[in-house]
C-alpha cells in the first residue's frame, strides 16, 4: 500500500473551489439533499455510525458531539474551526483551496442535523486570501441556491494559536480576547453567545458530504476501524516531498515518509519525526511502523493531532528544536491560567539553560515535574499539550540531553 486515497481531494485542481456549479457537476450537494430528506435522528445516527471522529486533534465522535445539542433550543450555531495554527499544519488551507464547497456542504449538513440555520467559519488571520475564497464560494452556493436557508459568515482571527481551542475561538468570534472558558458548560450546550453551538474542524465538516452520499458503512470501511476515513497529512522539514497527501487512516507512518514523502533529503538517515504539529510527541525511528490513526498513535505515546509530519534528519539538534518549540508555547500562552502562563515561561527558561550547555540533571528532573503539573492543572489543551515535545524527547532522545548537560 503506497498510494494515496483521495476522497476530499479527489477533484483537487480539476474544479474551481469557489464554484458551486463545478462542485455540483462532480457530485456535490447530493449529500445535503439526502440529509434534508432524512429524519433528524436518522441523520445523526448515520454520522455516528460512520465512525467519523474530529479531525482537529481531539478525535471525538462527530455524531455523538451533535447529539448533545438540546433539541428545544430556538437558536443554535454551527462553527467551523479554520484556525489551524499548529506549526507544520496546512491541511485546512489545502481543503479550502481545493474543495471549499465540500466544507460549506458539510456545515449545512450539520446545520440540518442540529436544527441551525447560521454557520460561522473562523479563519485564521494568516489566511486573508482564504477568507476571500470562502466568501466567493459562499456567494456562488447562495446564487445556485444549494445551501437553502443556511447562512454562513466568515470571521477572521488575528494571530492567536490559542483560538484553535473551541471556547477561545468562540470568545474571539464574540469580539473578545481569545481566552478559553471553563468547561462545563460545553459549547454544545452553551457556546457562541450562550446558545448551543457545534464546533468542528474543516476536515471533519468536509468528510460529511461523502459520508451522506456514499453511506456510513462505506466510510466506516475505510482505514482504521476505530478512526475510519481518510486523513490529510502535511509533510515538512527534511522530507524530500514537503507537500500534502490524503491517505486512509491505517496508513503506516513509515510509508508516509518514505513512499509518499520520498524519504529524507540528501539520502540522510532519519532521526525523529514529530506528528501532529508542534504540540506533538517526537517519534523515534523504531516506532515508524505504526498506523497514523488516532488510537495507534496514542498507543506509542504520540498523537495524530492535525496530521502534520515534521521529518528531522540525523544531523538535527533535538534539544535546540525543543527549545525553539518551548518559546512558541511561551509566546502563545494566553495568560489566563497560572499553570500554563508560568509553566510555559519556566519550560522555555529551563530548555534555554540546557540548550546553552549550562543545565544539569536537576534541571531535567525539574522540567519533568513541571510538565506533569501543567498537564494536570492547565485550563486548556495548550498548557496540557505543551509538555509533549519535552517529555517525549527526554524519553526517546535522552542521549541528546545528556550531551548538553554539565
Partner 1 sequence: MANYKDIIVGCKNQKGGIIEAFHALQNEFNYIPHEALVEAARVFGISEAQAYGVATFYSYLSVEKRGKYIIRMCESAPCHVAGADELLKALESQLGIKVGETTSDGKFTLELTECVGQCQATPVITVNSEPVFNVTTKILPQVLAAYK
Counting residues that bind partner 1 (by CB under 8 A) gives: 51
Task: Show the binding pattern over residues 74-113: x = contacts partner 1 (CB under 8 A), - = does not.
Answer: ----------xxxxxxx--x--------------------
Pairing assessment for the beta strands 227-228 and 244-248 based on DSSP bridges: unpaired
Task: Give the binding range for partner 1 (CB under 8 A) out of 125-133, 220-228, 292-300, 374-382.
Answer: 125-133
Report CA-CA distances (Å) from 152 to 55, 89, 264.
21, 24, 42
- Cβ neighbours around 372 below 10 Å, total: 12
Phi and psi (nearest 5°) for 387?
Answer: -70, -20
- CA dist 94 and 21 (Å) reads 20
List the grid coordinates of 274: 514529530
CB nearer partner 1, residue 84 or residue 363? 84
What does the angle CA 115 – CA 205 – CA 22 come to, to the nearest 5 degrees? Answer: 105
Task: Give the binding range for partner 1 (CB under 8 A) out of 26-34, 305-313, 338-346, 363-371.
Answer: 305-313
Shortest distance in whole angstroms from residue 196 CB to partner 1: 17
User: What does the chain come to in residues?
Assistant: 406
CB nearer partner 1, residue 40 or residue 75? 75
- Of residues 164, 246, 201, 199, the one with CA closest to residue 56: 201
Segment 28 to 67, residues that bind partner 1, using CB under 8 A: none
Residue from 213, 236, 249, 333 that binds partner 1 (CB under 8 A)? 236
- CA dist 154 and 135 (Å) reads 7
- CA dist 248 and 259 (Å) reads 14
List the grid coordinates of 317: 539538534
Residue from 4, 10, 97, 126 that binds partner 1 (CB under 8 A)? 126
CB nearer partner 1, residue 197 or residue 213? 197
Task: Show the binding pattern over residues 269-288: x = contacts partner 1 (CB under 8 A), - = does not.
Answer: -----x---x----------
CB nearer partner 1, residue 89 or residue 296? 89
Q: Are the C-beta atoms of residues 205 and 101 closer than 8 Å to each other?
A: no
Q: Are the C-beta atoms of residues 321 and 354 closer than 8 Å to each other?
A: no
Residue from 6, 21, 115, 125 that binds partner 1 (CB under 8 A)? 125
Task: Give the binding range for partner 1 (CB under 8 A) out of 15-23, 49-57, 232-240, 351-359.
Answer: 232-240
Phi and psi (nearest 5°) for 114?
Answer: -105, 0
- CA dist 81 and 152 (Å) reads 13
Task: Give the binding range for partner 1 (CB under 8 A) out of 7-15, 142-150, 236-244, 368-376.
Answer: 236-244
* Cis ω for the linkage preceding 185 (within 30 of 0): yes
Residue from 243, 290, 366, 375 that binds partner 1 (CB under 8 A)? 243
Shortest distance in whole angstroms from residue 238 CB to partner 1: 7
Task: Show the binding pattern over residues 165-204: x = contacts partner 1 (CB under 8 A), - = does not.
Answer: -------xxxxxxx--------------x-----------
What does the angle CA 216 – CA 221 – CA 222 come to, to the nearest 5 degrees? Answer: 105
Q: Sheet with 151-156: list strands edge to edge.
A: 151-156, 118-123, 77-82, 197-201
List the grid coordinates of 173: 468570534
Q: Does 334 bind partner 1 (CB under 8 A)?
A: yes
CB nearer partner 1, residue 46 or residue 203? 203
Q: Does 156 bind partner 1 (CB under 8 A)?
A: yes
Which residues contact partner 1 by CB under 8 A? 84-90, 93, 124-128, 153, 155-161, 172-178, 193, 234-238, 242-244, 274, 278, 308, 310, 312, 316, 321, 324-325, 327-328, 331-332, 334
Amino acid at each position: 500500500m503506497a498510494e494515496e486515497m483521495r476522497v476530499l481531494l479527489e477533484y483537487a485542481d480539476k474544479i474551481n473551489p469557489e464554484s458551486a456549479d463545478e462542485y455540483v457537476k462532480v457530485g456535490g450537494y447530493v449529500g445535503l439533499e439526502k440529509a434534508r430528506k432524512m429524519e433528524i435522528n436518522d441523520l445523526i445516527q448515520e454520522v455516528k455510525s460512520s465512525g467519523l471522529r474530529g479531525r482537529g486533534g481531539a478525535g471525538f465522535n462527530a455524531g455523538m458531539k451533535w447529539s448533545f445539542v438540546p433539541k428545544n433550543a430556538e437558536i443554535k450555531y454551527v462553527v467551523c474551526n479554520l484556525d489551524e495554527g499548529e506549526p507544520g499544519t496546512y491541511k485546512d488551507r489545502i481543503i479550502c483551496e481545493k474543495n471549499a464547497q465540500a466544507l460549506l456542504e458539510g456545515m449545512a449538513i450539520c446545520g440540518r442535523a442540529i436544527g441551525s440555520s447560521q454557520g460561522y467559519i473562523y479563519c485564521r488571520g494568516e489566511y486573508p486570501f482564504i477568507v476571500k475564497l470562502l466568501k466567493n464560494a459562499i456567494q456562488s452556493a447562495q446564487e445556485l441556491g444549494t445551501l437553502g436557508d443556511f447562512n454562513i459568515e466568515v470571521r477572521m482571527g488575528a494571530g492567536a494559536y490559542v483560538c484553535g481551542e473551541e471556547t477561545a475561538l468562540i470568545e474571539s468570534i464574540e469580539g473578545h480576547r481569545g481566552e478559553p472558558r471553563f468547561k462545563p458548560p460545553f459549547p454544545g450546550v452553551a457556546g457562541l453567545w450562550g446558545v448551543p453551538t457545534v464546533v468542528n474542524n474543516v476536515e471533519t465538516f468536509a468528510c460529511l458530504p461523502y459520508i451522506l452520499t456514499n453511506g456510513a458503512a462505506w466510510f466506516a470501511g475505510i482505514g482504521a476501524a476505530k478512526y475510519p476515513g481518510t486523513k490529510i497529512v502535511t509533510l515538512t522539514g527534511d522530507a524530500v516531498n514537503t507537500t500534502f497527501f490524503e491517505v486512509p487512516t491505517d496508513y503506516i507512518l513509515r510509508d508516509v515518509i518514505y513512499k509518499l514523502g520520498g524519504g529524507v533529503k540528501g539520502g540522510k538517515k532519519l532521526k525523529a519525526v514529530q506528528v501532529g504539529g508542534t504540540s506533538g510527541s517526537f517519534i523515534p525511528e523504531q516506532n515508524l511502523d505504526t498506523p497514523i490513526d488516532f488510537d495507534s498513535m496514542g498507543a506509542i505515546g504520540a498523537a495524530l493531532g492535525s496530521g502534520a509530519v515534521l521529518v528531522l534528519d540525523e544531523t538535527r539538534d533535538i534539544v535546540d528544536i525543543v527549545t525553539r518549540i518551548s518559546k512558541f508555547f511561551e509566546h502563545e500562552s494566553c495568560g489566563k491560567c497560572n499553570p500554563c502562563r508560568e509553566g510555559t515561561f519556566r519550560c522555555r527558561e529551563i530548555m534555554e539553560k540546557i540548550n546553552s550547555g549550562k543545565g544539569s540533571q536537576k534541571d531535567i528532573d525539574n522540567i519533568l515535574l513541571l510538565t506533569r503539573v501543567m498537564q494536570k492543572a492547565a485550563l486548556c489543551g495548550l498548557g496540557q499539550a505543551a509538555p509533549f515535545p519535552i517529555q517525549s524527547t527526554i524519553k526517546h532522545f535522552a542521549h541528546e540531553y545528556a550531551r548538553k548537560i554539565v
